[in-house]
A and B are shown apart, each in its own frame.
Chain A
């Protein structure tokens, strides 16, 4: 594979994306936004420290910020549940996206989670419903949305705040339908085969750009973001600023249409229109 010659292997990227010194959502918030005001709570049940939300100013522009946040050490990780949100985290994010819509503020969403939390309370309070609703309503939010995958994009837990007009991804970040360990445990009954699963799953930024699932790769310093946090944050800033200018200058209806059409096209399959011998041709009405 090209990226294996040029840079890190998929499994190495998995490690780098989870590196304990890798910049977190909170680092981007502190460095990129003036006057950040954190807003708490979903107004339904509680506040989720695994998902940060708030408002701030990005290069003179008011914005709403949402993002998963892991901890910098064990203690912080425990209090932030390792960046794994409960339903109230997703509901807080949706509340803030609706606020962005009312105030005409763009949304900037940072993705960095192993996944939505699989626990008793999360199930009782409707984890699936919360994520499903966010994904659905994100297509209706009449504000520009930029998504930046900064570390781990853990499946539905990532996608719950992952729908937008521009999906940017750091060079060594990963985004996957299942963790390589989970995948290996299912296929080879052995989580030690995770390295094999990591390359099979095509979870790197380079792969996802090829599948048109993301729009842009943000370069990282040699060895990974943790080697030069300031340079990484600068690169993210540049990319957000450039993309934000483009999408904020579009009329909101065409932006929503583009948001829809981009996702509508995702999927690879064959549509076999030639009838099989002796079988009636399929009468499929034309779509849309």
Chain B
């Protein structure tokens, strides 16, 4: 027995936790911000935004796609790209992580890319899914984003990317970091083709993806209450050894500091994108 154990308070009797009001699974969801219990069907109808406090729940990639494209019509591209344990990273833990994420999300990778219409305009759309290894970017995500810009340049169409990401994926080491260079190289060419790139930042959007294409949108839209920045708040707190103020790195914070164009509620996201494309479409020809 360690001496410190003498001083630690151990309960004499087992304490029974007060019974939580059980929320029947699949019917109700508790808002993590205001703790309101929300009826799932109602929540879906409200685009997964809390009707009481306006909290924007994280969306899966397909949920987001269906909220943005017309008539739920979307043709996925490059879904046949498969990640491999290229380094390989320490005894196959990357392969386990990939398998687990595929089962959890039903996705092949952390981004779904493809073509669809937004308010009748053809667009190339890419949507990150934070549930897939934290929406991290490695070889496949980098390649899909790069191709999306290439398709956009080829077909002279807008590119819209919705991020939900913790940055570059460490399991592919420097191959992941270099996707920042690859995607930005492609974005540079897309820009020179006169393209329109709308970067939509959802919760969270940080690190390697923010420090590459996501911060370089022609128009940058943030969802309310998203965490947006370079370093994660925990890393900053450990570095500066103080607590960060409330709201630091929120959408509203980065908006105040001039890093995003517009903070748009989810219900107005599609119409805002449509309006921007409409203006871009009315450009001088030649």
Contacts and interface: CB of A to CB of B under 8 A. Distances in A.
A127 B211 contact: yes
B181 interface: yes
Given A129-B215, A132-B215, A263 B178 contact: yes
B213 to A, nearest CB: 7
Contacts of B174: 175-177, 201-203, 207-208, 211, 213
Interface stretch (A28-36, A48-56, A98-106, A136-144): A136-144
Interface of B: 75-84, 86-87, 89-90, 93, 139-140, 142-143, 146-147, 150-151, 154, 168-170, 172-182, 184-189, 206-208, 210-216, 229-232, 235-236, 239-240, 244, 248-249, 257-259
B188 A123 contact: no
A123 B173 contact: no
Contact of A124 (B170, B179, B257): B257
A229 interface: no
A160 B177 CA distance: 11
B230 A116 contact: yes
Residue with the highest number of chain A CB atoms closer than 10 Å, among B77, B184, B248: B184
Interface in A172-201: 175-178, 182-183, 186-187, 196-197, 199-201
Contacts of A175: 174
B236 A132 contact: no
A274 to B, nearest CB: 9
A287 to B, nearest CB: 5
A120 B87 contact: no
A156 B236 contact: no
A79 to B, nearest CB: 17
Given A202-B87, A267-B139, A127 B230 contact: yes
Given A178-B170, A264-B185, A156 B175 contact: no
Interface stretch (A57-65, A220-228, A238-246, A278-286): A278-286
A174 B139 CA distance: 20
Contact of A285 (B151, B176, B181): B151
A273 B180 CA distance: 26
A284 B178 contact: no
A219 to B, nearest CB: 21
30 contacts: A124-B257, A126-B215, A126-B257, A127-B211, A127-B229, A129-B216, A132-B213, A136-B184, A136-B185, A136-B212, A156-B180, A156-B212, A159-B180, A162-B181, A177-B168, A177-B170, A177-B174, A178-B168, A187-B93, A201-B170, A202-B174, A213-B178, A264-B186, A267-B142, A269-B139, A271-B80, A282-B76, A285-B77, A285-B151, A288-B154
